[in-house]
């Protein structure tokens, strides 16, 4: 396994780092207070090509592999997680389905605009009755002539208020269970499609999640993504593909927390010495660094496996589980080392602590990842 980056990726990584540190960090508190990412930051992200991370060059994207993407995601993760989520949801679950399962016509129609950020992507699977149990969808799709008519409600849909293109799962044949679910590409302006209530969240300010409501929504038959009945499998592939990227963004956040904690622990004086000289503090920081290095190695190993076209169902689930648990542990220790100042919203530690919590829930809860891992192990040991 070789995780060395090409000169082009290293150059882009350095540019993204500079952009994050000088531009995004400068408005992090503004994002937190206004719950909005400045248009200037979004436009600069477009110019850097960040909206095209997952899209092949022939469709206007950067055309880089998963190892390269993770190197960039790690830099993006080091700043405000609301901004990180806007980019990550678009380049991950919002785009990957069309890249991997779309036909040539669909790719030409959608990816060129999505690569530039002219059109934002979103992924709509979760419903009030179908969260971890993704096969319990109530949204329906009935074929009528050259269209499908969709009815149902999705919720917790990241980027819903900004998105132009949605990958949506709905039931086409209730008698077939998971094999009766189909994927659709839906544009925000399709008749019968609307955005419902915007959800108020504990964290991820600037990243908006909302309901998606379909009332006799008309979707052209050519907007079926993949084969009819393959929607559940498509959803699993889309989610699995994005888990290395999500772990890399978590890794970036963890490294940022370690940097902030080291700086504070060297400057904060208690009992006559910097607090890093107290064993209790030093041990917490050592544990943070250990977790981060383990996550870094695991992330790039799975990213390499993705690039090598290896089946990573088990490993991706392990990585998603481990990455989110590490982020929460590191955030907790960072806050503990900072003490009272870490709990105050004027400083970034409190924000990272709140933002970390959702990583154990979205894109598959920690408990679901354990189910996937154990299920794959049962298959392996049954051979």
SS (H, E, C) the chain: CCCCCCHHHHHHHHHHHHHHHHHHHHHHHHHHHHCCCCHHHHHHHHHHCHHHCCCCHHHCCCCCCHHHHHHHHHHHCCCCHHHHHHHHHHHCCCCHHHHHHCCHHHHHHHHHHHHHCCCCEEEECCECCECCCCCCCCCEEEEECCEEEEEEEEEEEECCCCCCEEEEEEECCHHHHHHHEEEEEEECCCCCEEEEEECCCCCCCCCCEEEEEEEEEEEEHHHEECCCCCHHHHHHHHHHHHHHHHHHHHHHHHHHHHHHHHHHHHHCEECCEEHHHCHHHHHHHHHHHHHHHHHHHHHHHHHHHHHCCCCCHHHHHHHHHHHHHHHHHHHHHHHHHHHHHHHCCCCHHHHHHHHHHHHHCCCCCHHHHHHHHHHHHHHHCCC
Mean pLDDT of the chain: 95
> Quick one: average pLDDT of 149-177?
96
Cβ–Cβ contacts within 10 Å for residue 370, how many? 13
Under the banding of pLDDT at 50, 70 and 90, the label for residue 368 is very high
Ordered structural domains, the chain, with CATH: 7-116 (1.10.540.10), 121-229 (2.40.110.10), 233-380 (1.20.140.10)
Q: pLDDT value at position 361? A: 94
Q: Which of 11-20, 184-193, 235-244 has the lowest mean pLDDT?
A: 235-244
Q: pLDDT value at position 4? A: 82
Q: pLDDT value at position 373? A: 96
> Quick one: average pLDDT of 10-28?
97
Q: pLDDT value at position 238? A: 87
Q: pLDDT tens digit string along 89-109?
A: 999 999 999 999 999 999 999
Q: pLDDT value at position 84? A: 97
> Quick one: average pLDDT of 122-134?
90
Q: pLDDT value at position 237? A: 85
Catalytic residue, candidates 215, 218, 363, 367 = 363
Query: Is residue 122 scored above 90 in pLDDT?
Result: yes
Query: Is residue 269 scored above 90 in pLDDT?
Result: yes
> Quick one: average pLDDT of 197-212?
96
> Quick one: average pLDDT of 67-71?
95
> Quick one: average pLDDT of 169-179?
95
Under the banding of pLDDT at 50, 70 and 90, the label for residue 34 is very high
Under the banding of pLDDT at 50, 70 and 90, the label for residue 175 is very high
Under the banding of pLDDT at 50, 70 and 90, the label for residue 241 is confident
Give the span between the Cα atoms of 354 and 138, in whole angstroms: 31
- Is 363 assigned a catalytic role? yes
| pTM summary value | 0.94
Query: Is residue 151 scored above 80 in pLDDT?
Result: yes
Q: pLDDT tens digit string along 207-238?
A: 999 999 999 999 999 999 999 999 999 898 88
Query: Is residue 240 scored above 90 in pLDDT?
Result: no
Under the banding of pLDDT at 50, 70 and 90, the label for residue 190 is very high
> Quick one: average pLDDT of 377-383?
93
Q: Which of 50-59, 101-110, 239-248 has the lowest mean pLDDT?
A: 239-248
């Amino acid at each position: 396994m070789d995780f060395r980056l090409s000169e082009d990726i290293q150059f882009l990584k350095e540019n993204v780092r500079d952009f994050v540190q000088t531009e995004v960090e400068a408005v992090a508190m503004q994002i937190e207070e206004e719950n909005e990412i400045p248009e200037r930051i979004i436009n600069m992200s477009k110019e850097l090509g960040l909206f095209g991370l997952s899209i092949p060059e022939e469709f206007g994207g950067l055309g880089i592999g998963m190892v390269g993407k993770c190197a960039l995601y790690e830099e993006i993760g080091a700043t405000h997680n609301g901004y990180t989520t806007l980019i990550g949801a678009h380049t991950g679950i919002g785009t990957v389905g069309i890249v991997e399962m779309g036909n040539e016509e669909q790719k030409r129609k959608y990816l060129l605009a999505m690569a530039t950020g002219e059109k934002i992507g979103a992924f709509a699977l979760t419903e009030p009755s179908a969260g971890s149990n993704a096969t319990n969808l109530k949204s329906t799709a009935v074929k009528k002539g050259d269209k499908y008519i969709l009815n149902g409600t999705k919720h917790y849909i990241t980027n819903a208020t900004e998105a132009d293109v949605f990958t949506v799962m709905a039931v086409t044949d209730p008698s077939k269970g998971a094999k009766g679910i189909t994927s659709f590409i839906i544009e925000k302006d399709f008749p019968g499609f609307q955005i419902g209530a915007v959800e108020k969240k504990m964290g991820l300010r600037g990243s908006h999640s909302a309901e998606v409501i379909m009332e006799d929504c008309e979707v052209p038959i050519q907007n079926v993504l993949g084969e009819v009945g393959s929607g559940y499998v498509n959803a699993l592939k889309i989610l699995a593909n994005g888990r290395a990227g999500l772990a890399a963004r978590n890794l970036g956040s963890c490294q940022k927390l370690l940097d902030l904690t080291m700086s504070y622990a060297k400057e904060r004086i208690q009992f006559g010495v910097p607090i890093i000289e107290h064993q209790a503090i030093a041990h917490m920081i050592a544990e943070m660094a250990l977790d981060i290095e383990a996550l870094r190695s695991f992330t790039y190993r799975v990213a390499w496996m993705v690039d090598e076209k290896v089946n990573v169902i088990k490993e991706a689930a392990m990585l998603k589980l481990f990455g989110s648990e590490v982020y929460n542990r590191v955030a907790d220790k960072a806050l503990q080392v900072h003490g009272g100042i870490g709990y105050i919203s004027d400083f970034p530690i409190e924000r990272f602590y709140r933002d970390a919590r959702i990583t154990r829930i979205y894109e598959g809860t920690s408990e679901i990842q354990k189910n996937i891992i154990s299920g794959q192990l049962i298959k392996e040991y049954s051979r």
